[in-house]
Structure 1
Amino acid sequence: MTNIIDQKAIENRKIWINKIQNYRGNFADEAKNIEDELKREIEEKGIDNLIDHLRLCGHIPESYSHDSTEEKLYSKYTDILLSLTYESMGFKSLVFAERSDSADVEIFGKNFGFIADAKAFRLSRTAKNQKDFKIQAMDNWKRGKPYAMVVCPIYQLPNRSSQIYQQAISRNVCIFTYSHLALLLNFFLKENKLVIENLLEEIFKVIPALNPSKNAVDYWLAVNKTILNFSDKIQKLWQLEKQAVIESTKIAKEEALYFLASEREKIMTMSHEEALKELIKINRIDSRIKTIESIKENGLFSIQ
């Protein structure tokens, strides 16, 4: 069977991981550069290129340091993909580079608008707090808009029971996945903007109609049936994306394991002195020393 996600898509992901890692300028400027480059790439290579991005973007590269600039830029990269996906389907969309206490993406359709946020997680992260999904925050950030959406990697979502589903139903926030988004984009290629907007509104409306529950099966049964029952054309696309999920999960694991194996090999070949220096670097001891040394009396007590 031919793979849905080909080697070109995997190589393109590697290119983007390196691009984001090598950005060194002002955060807002670099976020704009990412948006401009992605737009150019999609214009040149087509919607299939955007679908490839969606299928592979859900995990933060293990090569990125925790709480680093590249990690923050990667988060912005997923927000930009989310925005470009809806723009490709005929919506208008805005991405905010630096904004707190608000959603990162606003989307405007003909009949309704909504806010959205894209999530990505490290595969090595063992526990995800319900606050990581920002369901309650998204509800607070609607500010007059009827709907909100949090888009997550499908293989990182709880599949049995979780507080996030109860919160989503109670607060009318749609938990969606990059895989479902790729499906909508594929469906759009066979339909038009108005049809997609009607389907999206049906998905949004089914969420608050559910009985509040932590049950993942109840939640996804409602969302998936809403999509599948919307058109006979979707069934074939559904099977395609189902296979793509299997492939993207495998690709994500191989990418992360390859990096960690390389790191282990690098450490094992170090001399004792090199290993100690690397340990100091990992713990950011020199950087923390500089920060502490920069602290000085700020004169506030002299203000009389």
Structure 2
Amino acid sequence: MKRNYLTLWLSGLVLVAAVGCDSSANDESLSASEDVAESLAKLVAEDTGGLVEQAGDIMDLASVGDIQAQTAAVAGKQQTDVIERSYDPETGTWTISVSRERGDAAGDRYMSLQKVYEVQFLDASGDSQRFFVTQGDTAHAISFVIVEGSISLTTPHVSALRDNITGSWMATGVNTDIVTLNGTYARSGGHTITHLEAVRTLDYDLALEVEELVGPKGSRRDLSQKLSGTVSGQYDAFATFERGDAYREREISREFTVTISEGEATIVVNGDVYAGNVRTGDLAGR
């Protein structure tokens, strides 16, 4: 009888240990997905130099006027300067360099962004034309390539020293009031997340597909409230976790979708759902 009691007792210990390990693994997986969602919220949002900020430049270019007026629109009134623009008649391509800042470098919200775009205005046949409106013919599409870009970012919970940006988008319907964006967008860099006295660093690579992202052309005012559509992709990172003397590191790989509508980004990572603000990049509950 004593032997049976001992066997049951040992079995119980093994079961408790197994459940404890499984719970710990689940908690760690959930925390990793939440960190990915926090990072994605910043990579999508407008004020953090994310995908929506790039979309705003396309909307500005889809406007009546010459390239000087259009690049001035890209500059806007957001502490932005267009550094250089040049046209290659052989390829029908404009190269536009942009430097942009938002916020206070000494404050808790600041973004500094440098980008080089290659832009083609395309007619109804898909041939390039020099301006958005050339000899009375309005472009029907815009090819928009982010050749290179880099960003430094500070927010209350997330900072990035120098993230790299590339992408290739096609904007259609630019001769109408509503523009549709499709294409690819890639980012790589490091996000440092500070939350609940813990510091987590994600050295990440993001590959994203833009699928039917729709919004009005012209003014980018309240653009985050006007865009709608879905983006999806893969987020891979080498993650470190520090709290006091504790230190852990691991590889993270997550597929995700982000649905943008009425200023909210519904972020789905590993089946878990999070809500982000499309303008600020803040994640609800963080």
User: Please, what TM-score do these two structures have when normalized by structure 1?
Assistant: 0.27
Determine which structure has more spread, i.e. the larger CA radius of gyration. 2
Q: Compare the two structures and name the one with the higher helix fraction.
A: 1
User: Please, what TM-score do these two structures have when normalized by structure 2?
Assistant: 0.28
Q: Compare the two structures and name the one with the higher strand fraction.
A: 2
